[in-house]
Amino acid sequence: MDSVPEKWSWKHSFLYLSFIYAILYLFHIHIAHKLLLGNEPVRVKRSPDLPLRFRHDGTFKILQVADMHYGNGLMTRCRDVLETEFEHCTDLNTTRFLERMIRAERPDFIAFTGDNIFGPSSADAAESLFGAFRPAIESGLPWAAVLGNHDQESTMTREELMSFISLMDYSVSQTYPSAEDSFFHAKGSMVTNIDGFGNYNIEVHGAQSSHLANSSILNLFFLDSGDRAVVQGIRTYGWIKESQLKWLEGVARRFQVTR
């Protein structure tokens, strides 16, 4: 009489264990790896082909973009538009305008020259930077940026902003000039004893397989023109300092043609 229920309980135990095993297996396959910290694939910055080069037709087209004053994307309304336009105008209009410019002009390089984001209306500087530079990043074109006085009025210092910008995809921005550009510094190091963040030199070489293919024939100097400043009690803007000029002159001398 007892043997039948025993058989049943054995079957139940087996089913029960199988069920537990199946759950654990599914957990292992589909979820466990998501819970492990530090197991995400390492995301390496995407870099453009370097050095930058002239085209074979001898042109090099630069799209310069200044004063986007990007805030919080969809949440930040446009300024200086007609009252009738205000309701339907946000940072995303800036994004769409930049996308159209890139599509229409197909530049070789995009230079963002300050006030890329507008600190006072930006809740998170990193988010605003992604918003501001998204069209450049998505185009895959090489781009670089320097800061204006408004960029750092949010959650990042000027140094943090430049470091962040230099790590974004397809950016060739630098926080400090590389030492290859300076006589006094060891190769591979950075020049950190000049004023500002975002002083650097970008070389543009001759067209591929031309006789100038390995020479820099255009140097783009980016300089940090500073933040605000108070001079003799008067509130004003920063300027390019002597240390930056010295650096620029030193680099330029290296590129002068010797006869």
Identify which of residues 93 and 155 has a Cβ nearer to ligand NAG in the complex: 93
Distance of alpha carbon 63 from the chain centroid: 16
Under DSSP, the state recorded for 1 is: -
Identify which of residues 207 and 240 has a Cβ nearer to ligand NAG in the complex: 207
Residues binding ligand NAG (CB under 6 A) = 81, 85, 88-89, 93, 211, 213-214
Write down the least CB distance from residue 204 to ligand NAG, Å.
15
| Residue 155, CA distances (Å) to 58, 94, 114, 122, 125 in order | 42, 22, 17, 8, 6
Beta strand extents in the chain (DSSP E only): 52-53, 62-65, 109-113, 143-146, 200-205, 216-222, 228-231, 234-237
Token pair in block for residue 104: 């229409």
Identify which of residues 3 and 209 has a Cβ nearer to ligand NAG in the complex: 209
Identify which of residues 46 and 103 has a Cβ nearer to ligand NAG in the complex: 103
Write down the least CB distance from residue 82 to ligand NAG, Å.
8
Write down the least CB distance from residue 209 to ligand NAG, Å.
7
Identify which of residues 3 and 214 has a Cβ nearer to ligand NAG in the complex: 214
CA gap 218, 15 in Å, rounded: 75
Identify which of residues 99 and 169 has a Cβ nearer to ligand NAG in the complex: 99
Q: Tokens 């240390």 appear where?
A: 243
Write down the least CB distance from residue 98 to ligand NAG, Å.
13
Which of 184, 139, 137, 166 is closest to 224 using CA atoms?
166
In sequence order, the 6+-apart residues with CB closer than 8 A to the CB of 12 are none
Write down the least CB distance from residue 214 to ligand NAG, Å.
4
Q: Tokens 């895959």 appear where?
A: 140
